[in-house]
């Protein structure tokens, strides 16, 4: 044998090691890809329309699964496809539900529905005083539609401007706020005080 020739020596079990790595990668892809596509997806907040609840640059994991089995509730923070360009995603808060009439008078939101025919004014602790708007409008919501607004009312493009959001444009809800670590939280922005 020529001493310059290089020999490849297979250690017993080495071929099995590479095979195991390939099997592991395949299984990981089979598990992770569907979760990433159908259940949870990462989003980065851009802009200040939901400030102070969410700040620009915060990293969220969005639950895309829950709303396959239930409908958004009043007070839920949701990720939606922008109705005028569904390639864009917005983060907003659900204010009005199907069948409601949303009345805004100098920024104060009152909901009229079959369960509250005399109207109920929303308690919105997530809005800071200087983020309050002074809009006045009335909107009646149809079936499978939602009225959404940003928490920073003066800096938010929302249902007051471009109209109602159909149910099929609701992508999901923030499940985790991961970054920055100082804001780490589960179901961030959730408000349980609103009348359903």
* Domain parsing of the chain, residue ranges: 40-186
pLDDT tens column, 110-163:
999 999 999 999 998 888 877 777 888 899 999 999 999 999 998 899 999 999
Helix and strand counts by DSSP (H, E) for the chain: 2, 12
Whether 193 has a pLDDT exceeding 70, the answer reads: no
**Is residue 107 very low, low, confident or very high in pLDDT (cuts 50, 70, 90)?**
confident
> Is residue 151 left, alpha or beta, with left meaning phi > 0 and alpha meaning psi from -120 to 50?
alpha
- Give the mean pLDDT of 11-16: 56
The model's pTM: 0.76
Predicted local distance difference test score (pLDDT) of residue 186? 80
DSSP readout, 58-112?
-EEEEE-SGGGTS---TT-EEEEE-TT-TTSEEEEEEEE-TT-EEEEETTEEEEE
Predicted local distance difference test score (pLDDT) of residue 66? 87
**Which CATH superfamily hosts domain 40-186?**
Umud Fragment, subunit A (2.10.109.10)
Predicted local distance difference test score (pLDDT) of residue 28? 56
Asked whether 147 and 159 are in contact (CB, 8 A), the reply is: yes
Supply the residues annotated as catalytic: 49, 92
pLDDT tens column, 21-69:
776 666 655 555 554 555 557 788 888 899 989 899 898 888 888 888 8
Q: Which residues contact 184 (CB under 8 A, 6 or more apart)?
A: 176, 177, 178
For residue 36, what are its two tokens?
């990433």
Decide which of 175 and 76 is more confident: 76
Decide which of 16 and 116 is more confident: 116
Whether 11 has a pLDDT exceeding 60, the answer reads: no
């Amino acid at each position: 044998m020529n001493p310059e020739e290089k020999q490849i020596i297979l250690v017993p079990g080495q071929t099995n090691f590479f095979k195991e790595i390939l099997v592991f990668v395949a299984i990981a892809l089979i598990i992770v890809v569907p979760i990433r596509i159908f259940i949870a997806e990462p989003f980065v907040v851009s802009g200040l329309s939901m400030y102070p609840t969410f700040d620009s640059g915060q990293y969220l994991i969005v639950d895309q699964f829950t709303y396959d089995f239930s409908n958004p509730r009043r007070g839920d923070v949701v990720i939606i496809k922008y109705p005028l360009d569904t390639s864009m995603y917005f983060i907003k808060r659900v204010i009005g539900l199907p069948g409601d009439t949303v009345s805004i008078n100098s920024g104060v939101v009152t909901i009229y529905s079959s369960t509250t025919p005399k109207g109920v004014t929303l308690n919105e602790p997530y809005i800071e005083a200087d983020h309050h708007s002074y809009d006045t409008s009335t909107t009646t919501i149809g079936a499978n539609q939602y009225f959404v607004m940003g928490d920073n009312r003066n800096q938010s493009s929302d249902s007051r401007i471009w109209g109602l959001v159909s149910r099929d444009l609701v992508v999901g809800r923030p499940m985790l706020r991961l970054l920055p670590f100082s804001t780490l939280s589960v179901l961030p922005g959730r408000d349980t005080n609103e009348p359903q």
